[in-house]
């Protein structure tokens, strides 16, 4: 598939996907979501890719779903047409880790897209928000649900009810992002994190992703049991033997994803 709204580069085990609709501040439309879903599916299937970085430009990650595209839609259009649902589900199906490298605006669907990734590294100019209320709608792909789990009810209500933006520092304090770095160093930091992950066993990496994500879907007792069973299962892998032997022999592990 030839892409028009994203740019994909694969280097050193890392697929970088850059949102690329600069005239509309990377606003998310059907085409972009379809291309993104396709690129993520391809990255998942590509054995050379061990981690994915999703980013935008230095000024905007994405300023939300495309308002021009949505303005004339009816209830029937969005309900029966299941706006964005299939393609956002495709993002969540990816088993390899996805790091969101966010600079500038991550608003509405842009903030929600970043939250669908596994963790967010923010440039110091990042601004997060759920301003849908100003358009007479509510957030539609996680802004009332994931944001609430990340930052708690009070701040999620504040963001969704006032439509105000949260800067990078506040986002880090609130637990929305894992770290804030100078915007000029954003890609360097995100790629370094991706390279670090790429050194690990893919089996363990995918198990970690599944286990952490399970914590959002289940009770503590069920989640702890799931984690324990995944921990147990790791002892069936060669990489567990290799990782522990390498530690005891004071050498770097050579994982083989087995
Ligand atoms: N959609 C379409 N175009 C956009 C969007 C957008 N979300 N955001 C910016 N643009 C366009 C502008 O229209 C403008 O285009 P043009 O030059 O052709 O007029 C260009 O980008 C530059 O924008 P501005 O001139 O406004 O730039 P400023 O620097 O003055 O402001 C802002 C930047 C603050 C980011 C401002 O553009 C803004 O507020 N944008 C809208 C933010 C917003 O409301 N986002 C939420 C959208 S709704 C949503 O995301 C719902 C998602 C859930 C979908 C659910 C499906 C089931």
Per-residue pLDDT of 187-218, as tens digits, reads 999 999 999 999 999 999 999 999 999 999 99
Report helix, strand or coil for 10: strand
Q: Whose CA is nearest to atom 41 of ligand 1?
A: 63
Which CATH number is 6-198's, of 3.90.226.10, 3.40.50.970, 3.40.50.10210, 3.40.109.10? 3.90.226.10
Q: Of 159, 254, 145, 160, nearest to 199 (Cα)?
A: 254
Tell me which residues are annotated as active site: 65, 109, 112, 132
Cβ(25)–Cβ(60) under 8 Å? yes
Comma-separated ranges of CATH 3.90.226.10 domains in the chain: 6-198
Q: Which CATH architecture has domain 202-248?
A: Orthogonal Bundle (1.10)
Q: Whose CA is nearest to atom 12 of ligand 1?
A: 24
C-beta 27 within 6 A of ligand 1 = yes
Q: How far is the CA of 164 from the centre of ligand 1 (A)?
A: 14
C-beta 105 within 6 A of ligand 1 = yes
Q: pLDDT-derived band of residue 83, with 50, 70 and 90 as boundaries?
A: confident
Q: pLDDT-derived band of residue 106, with 50, 70 and 90 as boundaries?
A: very high
C-beta 140 within 6 A of ligand 1 = yes
> In the chain, what are the helix, strand and coil shares in percent, each to the nearest 5?
50, 15, 35
C-beta 84 within 6 A of ligand 1 = yes
Does ipTM exceed 0.85?
yes
Mean pLDDT, the chain, rounded, equals 97
Q: pLDDT-derived band of residue 56, with 50, 70 and 90 as boundaries?
A: very high
Comma-separated ranges of CATH 1.10.12.10 domains in the chain: 202-248
pTM: 0.97
């Amino acid at each position: 598939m030839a892409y028009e709204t994203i740019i994909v580069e694969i280097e050193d085990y890392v697929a970088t996907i850059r949102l690329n609709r600069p005239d509309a501040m990377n606003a998310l439309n059907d085409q972009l979501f379809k291309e993104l879903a396709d690129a993520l599916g391809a990255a998942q299937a590509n054995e050379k890719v061990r981690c994915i970085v999703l980013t935008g430009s230095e000024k905007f990650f994405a300023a939300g779903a495309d308002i021009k595209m949505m303005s004339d839609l009816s209830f029937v259009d969005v309900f029966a047409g299941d706006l964005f649902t299939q393609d956002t589900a495709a993002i969540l199906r990816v088993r390899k880790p996805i790091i969101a490298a966010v600079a500038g605006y991550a608003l509405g669907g842009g903030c929600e897209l970043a939250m669908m990734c596994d963790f967010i590294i923010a440039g110091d100019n990042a601004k997060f928000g759920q301003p849908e209320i100003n358009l007479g709608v509510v957030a539609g792909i996680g802004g009332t649900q994931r944001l609430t789990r990340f930052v708690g009810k009070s701040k999620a209500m504040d963001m969704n009810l006032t439509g105000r933006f949260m800067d990078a520092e506040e986002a880090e304090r609130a637990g929305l992002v894992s770290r804030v770095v100078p915007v000029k160093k954003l890609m360097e930091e995100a790629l370094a994190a991706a390279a670090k992950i790429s050194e690990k066993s893919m089996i363990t990496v995918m198990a970690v992703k599944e286990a952490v994500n399970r914590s959002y879907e289940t009770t503590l007792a069920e989640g702890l049991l799931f984690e324990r069973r995944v921990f147990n299962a790791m002892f069936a892998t060669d990489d567990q033997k290799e990782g522990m032997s390498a530690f005891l022999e004071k050498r770097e592990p050579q994982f083989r994803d087995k």
